[in-house]
């Protein structure tokens, strides 16, 4: 199963996926490209580090979504790789119908909460400020409903009395780095079946 990774930032989740791949822990899953909507994003530097093609794709004029033209360019770039799966790992833009219809049930997203709780931005802070005793991370299929697609897997983490937002954020990131590669392996196994 071939997959692409799309992200907007430092790429810590992409790096966890790529490390798992290099160690032979992704089974039949192979990364074929990394794309980012930010030309200076660290995630693009991971391409050279891991030997995976990495490219900036212009997102257009909006900060939180793609225009119809840029969405078509993303779809075209992904299709050119022959990818079976699109992994959103810190991609900070909402995608719409054209993108979703091009890859039905082939786009997954990592979200730093136990969905359906705390959708949208700043999910870790939302959970911490609300005072829940458990939060965590979720991998789900992407649909037109923001952070609302079918859930593939979750990891729950207790918020301890001595946790700060920063210490809890680090715990969530550690869980994300384990969960996302595990889900990719399971999807690759199902793809081969």
Cβ–Cβ under 8 Å, residues 56 and 38? yes
Instruction: Give, in order, the Cα–Cα distances in Å from 145 to each of 73, 74, 116, 119, 150.
Output: 22, 20, 11, 10, 10
Residue 51 tokens, joined:
């030997």
Predicted model pTM: 0.96
Query: Phi and psi of 31, rounded to 5°?
Result: -75, 135
E runs forming strands in 66-150: 85-88, 107-111, 134-141
Q: If one looks up domain 2-192 in CATH, what number appears? A: 3.40.50.170
pLDDT for position 15? 97
> Distances in Å between the alpha carbon of 133 and those of 110, 124, 128, 158, 182?
21, 12, 8, 6, 25
Neighbours of 98 (CB within 10 A): 13
From the list 111, 122, 173, 191, the catalytic residue is 111
Residues comprising the chain, all counted: 193
Residue 109 is predicted with a pLDDT of 97
| Annotation marks residue 96 as catalytic | no
pLDDT in tens, the chain (193 residues): 999 999 999 999 999 999 999 999 999 999 999 999 999 999 999 999 999 999 999 999 999 999 899 999 999 999 999 999 999 999 999 899 999 999 999 999 999 999 999 999 999 999 999 999 999 999 999 999 999 999 999 999 999 999 999 999 999 999 999 999 999 999 999 998 7
């Amino acid at each position: 199963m071939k997959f692409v990774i799309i992200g907007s930032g430092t790429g810590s989740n992409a790096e966890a996926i790529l490390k798992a791949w290099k160690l032979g822990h992704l089974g039949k899953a192979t990364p074929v490209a990394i794309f980012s909507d930010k030309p200076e994003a660290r995630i693009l530097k991971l391409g050279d580090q891991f030997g995976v093609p990495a490219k900036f794709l212009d997102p257009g004029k909006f900060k939180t979504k793609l225009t119809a033209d840029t969405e078509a360019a993303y779809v075209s770039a992904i299709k050119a790789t022959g990818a079976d799966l699109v992994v959103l790992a810190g991609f900070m833009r909402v995608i719409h119908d054209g993108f979703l219809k091009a890859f039905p049930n082939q786009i997954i997203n990592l979200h730093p909460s136990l969905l359906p709780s705390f959708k949208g931005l700043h999910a870790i802070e939302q959970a911490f400020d609300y005072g829940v005793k458990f939060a965590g991370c979720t991998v789900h299929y992407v649909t037109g409903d923001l952070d609302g697609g079918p859930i593939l897997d979750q990891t729950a983490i207790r918020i301890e009395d001595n946790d700060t937002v920063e210490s809890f954020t680090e715990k969530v990131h550690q869980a994300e780095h384990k969960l996302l590669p595990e889900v990719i392996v399971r999807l690759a196994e199902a793809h081969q079946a």
